[in-house]
Amino acid sequence: MALPGRKRCLLVLPGQRPTMQPCLLLALALLGTASARHLAAVTSEVAEPELEAEAEDVECPLEDETKALNITDPQSARTFRYIIVRRCQNFHTAQRVCSRCYRGRLASIHSYHANVLLQCRARTRVNNGRVWIGAITRPVGGSVFCHWSDNSGWNYAYWLHGYPLLTGRFCTTLCTANGRWRSTNCRERLPFICEY
């Protein structure tokens, strides 16, 4: 199976070698295991200390603010359940909504197939142009380390050219016009996609 995402994400600047972080090794070890996604529901190493401080009790979205869809991966035949939420939240609060209201996490995306279906569905539900997905990136040496907040394996990516950014730690949005991903300040308030 080709894993273009991993290569894409690890941007290496000339003269520098990427370092393999323990987290990356863990992600690779989990890659392909059926339970990887659900492990993540329990723990996340994504704690954002500054954002944690402003966390308040979340209010669950109303039904007409959400759209559910199930996507069956043609290769693995596994079905993933997603819910698109129109109400805008910062990344951390969105994560709490996914967890509290749907017992899930912000969505991880593992195929072009799922990316396209989520993009198309999100496009009809939100007009902001971008929605949170569960990818988080941070610079490591001269490259970027990417991981999913549900700790599932990093095996696919669909970055806009020039992304992910190397300049700091970022959350990630999916553009509903073309499906491409870009680094986004975690504090922006945007619609989001949960998986559960």
Ligand X SMILES: *[C@@H]1O[C@H](CO)[C@@H](O)[C@H](O)[C@H]1NC(C)=O
Distance in Å, CB of 37 to ligand X, minimum: 14
Distance in Å, CB of 76 to ligand X, minimum: 15
DSSP 129: S
Token pair listed for 92? 């951390």
Q: How far apart are CA 82 and CA 70, in angstroms?
A: 6
Q: How far apart are CA 47 and CA 111, in angstroms?
A: 26
| Among the residue ranges 65-73, 144-152, 173-181, 186-194, the one whose residues contact ligand X (CB under 6 A) | 65-73
| Among the residue ranges 30-38, 67-75, 135-143, 179-187, the one whose residues contact ligand X (CB under 6 A) | 67-75
> At 20, is the secondary structure helix, strand, or coil?
coil
Beta bridge partners of 69: 82
DSSP 57: P
Q: Which of 171, 150, 159, 124 is nearest to 27 (CA)?
A: 150
Distance in Å, CB of 163 to ligand X, minimum: 30
Would you say 84 and 122 are in contact if contact means Cβ atoms under 8 Å apart?
yes
Does 70 help bind ligand X (rule: CB under 6 A)? yes
Distance in Å, CB of 77 to ligand X, minimum: 13
Q: Which of residues 80-109 bind ligand X (CB under 6 A)?
A: 81
Does 120 help bind ligand X (rule: CB under 6 A)? no
Token pair listed for 128? 């902001």
Does 38 help bind ligand X (rule: CB under 6 A)? no
Nearer to ligand X, 132 or 196 (CB): 196
Q: Which of 80, 96, 170, 99 is nearest to 130 (CA)?
A: 170
Token pair listed for 196? 């559960």
Distance in Å, CB of 79 to ligand X, minimum: 6
Please identify which residue in 55, 68, 120, 177 interacts with ligand X, judged by CB under 6 A: 68
Please identify which residue in 31, 39, 69, 160 interacts with ligand X, judged by CB under 6 A: 69
Task: Tell me which residues touch ligand X (CB under 6 A).
Answer: 68-70, 81
